[in-house]
Amino acid sequence: MFSMNATPLTLLLSALLLSTKTSAEPVSGEASSKSLQVTHNPYASLWNENEEDIAAFLRPRWKTSKLANFRKRELSHYGEGLATGKNRSKRSRGKQCSSDNGGLIQDVIDGTIHGLKHFIHHGWKHDEEWGVALMKAENSEMDNEFLVEVEFGTPKKRTKKQVLKMVFDTGSPDTWVYSPACCYAEDHTFFDPSKSRTFSNRTVVDGKPTRAPDGTPGQKFDASYGSGSTLGYMGIDTVSFSNERIQVENQTIALATSLTASRASRAMEGLMGLSAGIGSVQDGATTTPFEAMSKAGQLNQTYLSCTLVKADRETGKNGGGQYVLGEIDSSRLKGEITWTPVRSAYFWGTYFDRMSIGDVVLSQPPATTAAPIRYMIDTGSAVINLPSAMARKANQQIQGSFYTNSSQVSQHWLVPCETGTVRYERSLPETKRNKPLSIQIEGTNFTVPVEDLVFYPNSPIPSKYTGGKKNLCYSAIQEGPEEISILGLTFIKNHVVVFDQGGQTLSNRRMGVGKRSDIRYD
């Protein structure tokens, strides 16, 4: 379990270098002291190195590192008073399976309905012939997750398409769906492999993933996330995006047979891993669908653009936006995209110039252990997770913030629910008004507006968990691993974010961030 407490560097080192839990050969004391000489700061190395020999050195350590196992903390619901935390069992069961979402996409291309004319721009239509595909994102639970319909498998005669609502996760490499055997299968649409004529279980032969003959057990799958773990077995099948405009054959997918409880109430029916496939801790690793379609030349440009739209603060409804494969989504882009080379072989991660809230600098070069300048952009994390000292400093700048130690509250930092409303900010003395969070990347400031410093603003935490304080909600800035800042949906929904595989060779990966025409940043 990921620890909420600050982790001393020595512990990290031992976790990284001494843990032998999943590594094939035990690491002796001698080997580990040698390793320590090789690299003083293992995370810095995980970060920079792409060369083969270093990768070979790092890989077994990566597998057991705390960072690889960082459990992303979603904001789960617990107890009374949470407007968005309704039990939603039986929600739309079967509906996604039977519906053909071609209608919406067709409308988008025709540009006639939903005002989505932007998909015809520069005078031509964008569709699969040019390797561009648009996927609508459904905003679920007030920005906690954005869901995308993805089709799994190939229908047999007389079986229907199997379309599941997936969370796109640029912070992890593995893709999994609910299997019929799973825990919450009766509450969620699941993938039934027996209804796909292209499914096989996956085994690993000589380190290479292979289709297994029928009746052979699938390779075991075991992954940890913020909400706990997912267990199951691995298979291989076709995965299709945007109403089959882009299809990836022989994709590794995991079929979940067991999940921890907090996922039960969530709308997601699976998670699509979009970080580097070599980062998978499963034997034989994986190639992500995004990597596969990029390598195969299926995309005009090897881009995944995210334009996610936040929900209405008053009602908690609407929002959504879209993911676009193959090009920069200019529908809500204001100005240019700022590009940064990716510096991690595993994550969509690099360095920022400076992170600040108002005039208070949270981190800038030279980076320190307590305030690193590494960050990753993670569509699978709800909020912004910072190393604990940075999270503390940031929250201390937010008026009325409170750190709770209640184990009932899944995140520790709380702020007044009204944070960022015009009325509330005006009621504060001028010098005490909240300031936006600012992340300067390659010389340009990208901003999280004050209204988004609070998460679930309509869901006050019951005062019995807050030492009697009323009207506190989750802060959108929480603690994460000590090594890296994780910019989740709180950041992403205020920007256009583009992940670029760097062409068919997947070299020169880079990340782009742009400002939005529909957002006020002050």
Q: Is 126 in the site for ligand NAG (CB under 6 A)?
A: yes
Check residue 24 and report its DSSP letter.
S
The residue from 84, 260, 265, 330 that contacts ligand NAG (CB under 6 A) is 265
Check residue 451 and report its DSSP letter.
G
- Write out 41-107 in H/E/C secondary structure: CHHHHHHHCCCHHHHHHHHHHHHHCCCCCCCCCCCCCCCCCCCCCCCCCCCCCCHHHHCCCHHHHHH
Tell me how far apart the alpha carbons of residues 357 and 373 are, in angstroms, rounded to a whole number: 15
**Binding map of ligand NAG across residues 333-372, x = CB under 6 A, - = no contact:** -----------------------x----------------
Query: Using an 8 Å Cβ cutoff, are 73 and 226 in contact?
Result: yes
The residue from 110, 186, 249, 336 that contacts ligand NAG (CB under 6 A) is 249
Query: Whose Cβ is closer to ligand NAG: residue 47's or residue 499's?
Result: 499
Element (H, E) at 12: helix 9-17
Check residue 107 and report its DSSP letter.
H
The residue from 264, 267, 428, 506 that contacts ligand NAG (CB under 6 A) is 264
- Binding window for ligand NAG (CB under 6 A); candidates: 22-30, 65-73, 124-132, 310-318: 124-132
Query: Whose Cβ is closer to ligand NAG: residue 325's or residue 492's?
Result: 325
The residue from 25, 53, 206, 214 that contacts ligand NAG (CB under 6 A) is 214
Coil, strand or helix at 71: coil
The residue from 92, 258, 300, 330 that contacts ligand NAG (CB under 6 A) is 300
Q: Is 512 in the site for ligand NAG (CB under 6 A)?
A: no
Query: Using an 8 Å Cβ cutoff, are 348 and 303 in contact?
Result: no
The residue from 29, 123, 207, 215 that contacts ligand NAG (CB under 6 A) is 215
Q: Which of residues 131-170 bind ligand NAG (CB under 6 A)?
A: 132
Q: Position of tokens 């000292």?
A: 389
Q: Which of residues 391-450 bind ligand NAG (CB under 6 A)?
A: 405, 438, 440, 443, 445
Q: Is 301 in the site for ligand NAG (CB under 6 A)?
A: yes
| Other CB atoms within 10 A of residue 513 CB | 22
The residue from 78, 130, 351, 521 that contacts ligand NAG (CB under 6 A) is 130
**Integer CA distances (angstroms), 386 to 137, 372, 374, in order:** 26, 9, 10
**Binding map of ligand NAG across residues 71-110, x = CB under 6 A, - = no contact:** ----------------x-x---------------------
For residue 293, report the phi and psi dihedrals to the nearest 5 degrees: -70, -30
Which tokens hold the place of 322? 């879209």
Question: What's the min distance (Å) between Cβ of 217 and ligand NAG?
Answer: 3
Query: Using an 8 Å Cβ cutoff, are 485 and 357 in contact?
Result: no
Q: Is 201 in the site for ligand NAG (CB under 6 A)?
A: yes
* Half-sphere CA count of 395, side-chain side, radius 13 A: 29
Nearest to 344 by CA among 207, 483, 445, 482: 483
Query: Using an 8 Å Cβ cutoff, are 324 and 133 in contact?
Result: yes
Query: Whose Cβ is closer to ligand NAG: residue 239's or residue 497's?
Result: 239
Residues that bind ligand NAG (CB under 6 A): 87, 89, 126, 130, 132, 201, 211, 214-218, 233, 249-250, 264-265, 300-301, 327, 356, 405, 438, 440, 443, 445
